């Protein structure tokens, strides 16, 4: 009984140690920020304490304006990310598995599309869809599609051929082969693509809302810039960054859960 308890205590100590180590660079960042804000002339850089106070007032405001704009941006991100996940998954598996002849035809074109400057793409989508919700979803979809598609395609293409041959000799059809061999093998790459996509999604939605929008976090940020509210300007940037980190963290937790399931069953 003592041995399991000792192992549990060691795990807890290791967990606390890792948290403390991860907090050190964060603390140093805010200390440097506080010091820099005291050295730079006023009206250029707001201190972390002022930013925290400003964001607290923004969230405590009965109108909940920042929360409304957050929900609008998250809705556009969620829909665009979902569509990109579905389309990228279908295309990635098609090009990397049973439809490899299509790879030569479409993959070079997809790579060209991926290399297009995102700043140049947003105005095109504005012309096609206006500045409403459709344009925001389309921008997120476009940005998220490529990391999902290419990661899945490369992983599916590199599945061990011996595993595929063994499954086929046992009478596995395409559906069984996909579910029992290809999908489990590509899970790590799927989540890698998703994590890359979610980071790009937040960047693109803000950029899209900066260029043309009537709501959303990008619009909210520009409103603070126009009002010259430094605390909310820097606070909004930090807020968007924290949401991006949190979304990536959630995907990491989901990945661990699925990979544990994979290890237990395969």
**105-159 per-position pLDDT tens digit:** 888 888 888 888 777 888 888 888 888 889 999 999 999 999 999 999 888 888 7
Q: What span, in angstroms and rounded, lies between the C-alpha atoms of 143 and 121?
A: 10
Q: How many Å apart are CA 123 and CA 178, to the nearest integer? A: 39
* SS3 state at 256: helix
Cα(152)–Cα(186) distance, integer angstroms: 7
Total residues belonging to the chain: 266
Rounded-to-integer distance, Cα 201 and Cα 206, Å: 9
Q: What pLDDT sits at residue 180?
A: 75
pLDDT classification of 266: cutoffs 50, 70, 90: very low
Does residue 47 come out as left (phi exceeding 0), alpha (psi in the -120 to 50 range) or beta? beta
Q: Say yes or no to pLDDT of 5 above 70.
A: no
- Range with the largest mean pLDDT of 99-108, 140-149, 212-221: 140-149
> How far apart, in whole angstroms, are the C-alpha atoms of residue 251 and residue 192?
9
Q: In this structure, are residues 233 and 55 in contact, taking their beta carbons and an 8 Å threshold?
A: no
pLDDT at 179: 75
By the 8 A CB rule, do 74 and 217 touch?
no
Structure-model confidence comparison of residues 172 and 183, the more confident one: 183
- Kindly state the average pLDDT of the residues 229-257: 89
The total of other beta-carbon atoms located within 10 Å of residue 155's CB is 21
Cβ atoms of 209 and 80 closer than 8 Å: no
Q: What is the pLDDT of residue 139?
A: 92
Structure tokens at 117: 């400057």
Flag the least confident range among 96-110, 161-175, 224-238.
161-175
Cα separation, 242 vs 103, whole angstroms: 37
Of residues 21 and 2, the one with the higher pLDDT is 21
Nearest to 232 by CA among 58, 110, 90: 58
Query: When comparing pLDDT for 263 and 92, which is higher?
Result: 92
How confident is the model over 164-191, as a mean pLDDT? Answer: 77
Distance CA 74, CA 205 (A): 9
Burial class (CB in 10 A: 0-12, 13-18, 19+), 202: buried
Q: What is the 3-state secondary structure (H, E, C) of 222-244?
A: HHHHHHCCHHHHHHHHHHHHHHH
CATH number, domain 48-265, options 3.40.1710.10, 3.40.50.2000, 3.40.50.150, 1.10.3720.10: 1.10.3720.10
């Amino acid at each position: 009984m003592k041995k399991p308890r000792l192992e549990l205590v060691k795990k807890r100590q290791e967990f606390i140690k890792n948290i403390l180590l991860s907090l050190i660079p964060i603390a140093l960042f805010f200390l440097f920020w506080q010091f820099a804000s005291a050295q730079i002339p006023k009206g250029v850089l707001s201190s972390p304490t002022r930013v925290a106070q400003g964001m607290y007032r923004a969230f405590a405001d009965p109108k909940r304006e920042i929360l409304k704009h957050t929900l609008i941006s998250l809705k556009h991100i969620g829909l665009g990310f979902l569509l990109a996940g579905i389309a990228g998954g279908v295309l990635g598996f098609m090009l990397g598995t049973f439809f490899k002849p299509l790879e030569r035809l479409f993959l070079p074109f997809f790579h060209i599309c991926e290399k297009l400057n995102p700043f140049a793409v947003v105005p095109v989508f504005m012309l096609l869809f206006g500045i409403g919700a459709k344009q925001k979803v389309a921008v997120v979809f476009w940005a998220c599609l490529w990391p999902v598609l290419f990661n899945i395609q490369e992983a599916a293409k590199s599945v061990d051929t011996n595993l595929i041959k063994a499954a086929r000799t046992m009478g596995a059809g395409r559906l069984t082969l996909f579910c029992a061999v290809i999908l489990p093998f590509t899970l790590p790459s799927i989540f890698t693509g998703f994590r890359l996509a979610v980071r790009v999604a937040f960047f693109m939605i803000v950029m899209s809302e900066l260029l043309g929008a009537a709501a959303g976090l990008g619009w909210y940020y520009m409103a603070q810039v126009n009002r010259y509210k430094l605390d909310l300007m820097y606070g909004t940037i930090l807020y968007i960054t924290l949401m991006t980190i949190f979304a990536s963290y959630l995907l990491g937790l989901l990945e661990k859960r699925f990979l544990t399931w994979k290890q237990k069953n395969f």
